Chain A
Amino acid sequence: MTQAPTSEPRKLPYILAITEGLRQSLAADENVFLAGEDVAGAGSVFGYTRGLLAEFGAKRVIDTPISEEGIMGLGVGASACGLRPIIDLMFMDFIGECMDEVLNQMAKMRYMFGGKATLPVTVTTMSGAGMNLAAQHSQSLEAWLCHVPGLKVVMPSTPYDAKGLLISAVRDNNPVFVVFHKGLLGMPGEVPEEPYAIPLGKANIVRPGSNFTIIATSKMVHEATKAAAELAEDGIDVEVIDPRTVQPLDSETIINSVKKTHRALIVHEAVRFGGLGAEIAAQIQEEAFDFLDAPVGRVGAPFSPVPFTPALEKAYLPNADKIKAEVKRIVGRAG
Chain B
Amino acid sequence: MDISKETLFDLHHRMVRIRIFEEEAGKLMESAKIPGALHLYVGEEAVAAGVMCNLSDQDQITSTHRGHGHLVAKGGDFKKMYAELYGRSTGYCGGKGGSMHISDMDLGMLGANGIVAGGPPIAMGAAFANKYKGNGNVAVAFFGDGASNEGAFHEAANMAATWKLPLVLCCENNGYGEFTPQANHQAIKDVADRAVGYGMPGVVCDGMDAVAVYEAAHEAVARARRGEGPTLLECKTYRFFDHVGIRGIGLSYRSDDEVMEWKKRDAIQAIEKRMIEVGVATAEELAAVHDRVKIEAAEAIAFGEASPWPDESTLLKDVYNND
Q: How far is the CA of A270 from the CA of B40 in the complex (A)?
A: 45
Residues on the A chain within 8 Å of B93, using CB:
112-114, 116
**Contact A81-B96, Cβ < 8 Å, known A74-B121, A111-B319, A113-B103:** no
Let me know if A70 and B155 touch, CB within 8 A: yes
Let me know if A117 and B105 touch, CB within 8 A: yes
With beta carbons under 8 angstroms apart, the residue of B92, B159, B323 that contacts A67 is: B159
CB B56 to nearest CB in A, in angstroms, measures 14
Residue of A nearest to B317 (CB): A115
With beta carbons under 8 angstroms apart, the residue of B111, B152, B155, B321 that contacts A118 is: B321
A82 at the interface (CB under 8 A from B): yes
CB B191 to nearest CB in A, in angstroms, measures 18
CB B99 to nearest CB in A, in angstroms, measures 11
* Residues in B39-96 with C-beta less than 8 Å from chain A: 60, 62, 91-96
**Contact A77-B124, Cβ < 8 Å, known A112-B93, A113-B97:** yes
The interface centre, meaning the residue of A64, A113, A117 with most chain B CB atoms within 10 A of its CB, is: A113
CB A263 to nearest CB in B, in angstroms, measures 33
Let me know if A149 and B319 touch, CB within 8 A: yes
Residues on the A chain within 8 Å of B152, using CB:
69-70, 73, 100-101
Residues on the B chain within 8 Å of A272, using CB:
none
Q: Which 9 A-B residue pairs are closest in the complex by CB-CB distance?
A: A73-B121, A77-B125, A70-B155, A115-B318, A114-B93, A114-B94, A81-B129, A67-B155, A112-B101
B130 at the interface (CB under 8 A from A): yes
Residues on the A chain within 8 Å of B60, using CB:
81
* Residues in B103-140 with C-beta less than 8 Å from chain A: 103-105, 110-111, 113-115, 118, 120-130, 132-133, 139
Residue of A nearest to B112 (CB): A112
A197 at the interface (CB under 8 A from B): no
B151 at the interface (CB under 8 A from A): yes
| Interface footprint category on A | 35 or more
**Contact A70-B97, Cβ < 8 Å, known A77-B129, A81-B126:** no
* Residues in A286-306 with C-beta less than 8 Å from chain B: none
Q: Which stretch in A9-17, A102-110, A213-221 binds the other chain?
A: A102-110
Residue of B nearest to A67 (CB): B155
Let me know if B126 and A70 touch, CB within 8 A: no
Residue of A nearest to B126 (CB): A77
Residues on the B chain within 8 Å of A275, using CB:
none
With beta carbons under 8 angstroms apart, the residue of B122, B133, B162 that contacts A73 is: B122
With beta carbons under 8 angstroms apart, the residue of B91, B115, B323 that contacts A100 is: B115
Residues on the A chain within 8 Å of B317, using CB:
115
B156 at the interface (CB under 8 A from A): yes
Let me know if B118 and A70 touch, CB within 8 A: no
CB A201 to nearest CB in B, in angstroms, measures 10
Let me know if A150 and B159 touch, CB within 8 A: no
Let me know if B318 and A78 touch, CB within 8 A: no
A267 at the interface (CB under 8 A from B): no
**Contact A70-B124, Cβ < 8 Å, known A65-B159, A113-B103:** yes
Residues on the B chain within 8 Å of A101, using CB:
118, 121-122, 152
CB B18 to nearest CB in A, in angstroms, measures 21
16 cross-chain CB contacts under 8 A: A65-B155, A65-B159, A69-B121, A70-B152, A70-B159, A74-B128, A77-B127, A77-B129, A77-B139, A81-B129, A113-B103, A114-B91, A115-B318, A116-B92, A118-B321, A149-B319
A278 at the interface (CB under 8 A from B): no
A80 at the interface (CB under 8 A from B): yes
A236 at the interface (CB under 8 A from B): no
CB A111 to nearest CB in B, in angstroms, measures 5
The interface centre, meaning the residue of A70, A109, A118 with most chain B CB atoms within 10 A of its CB, is: A70
B7 at the interface (CB under 8 A from A): no
Q: How far is the CA of A78 from the CA of B320 in the complex (A)?
A: 18
A210 at the interface (CB under 8 A from B): no
Residue of A nearest to B321 (CB): A173
B158 at the interface (CB under 8 A from A): yes
Q: How far is the CA of A111 from the CA of B314 in the complex (A)?
A: 11
Residues on the B chain within 8 Å of A79, using CB:
125
Let me know if B159 and A111 touch, CB within 8 A: no
With beta carbons under 8 angstroms apart, the residue of A59, A109, A117 that contacts B132 is: A59
**Contact A112-B111, Cβ < 8 Å, known A73-B124, A105-B118:** yes
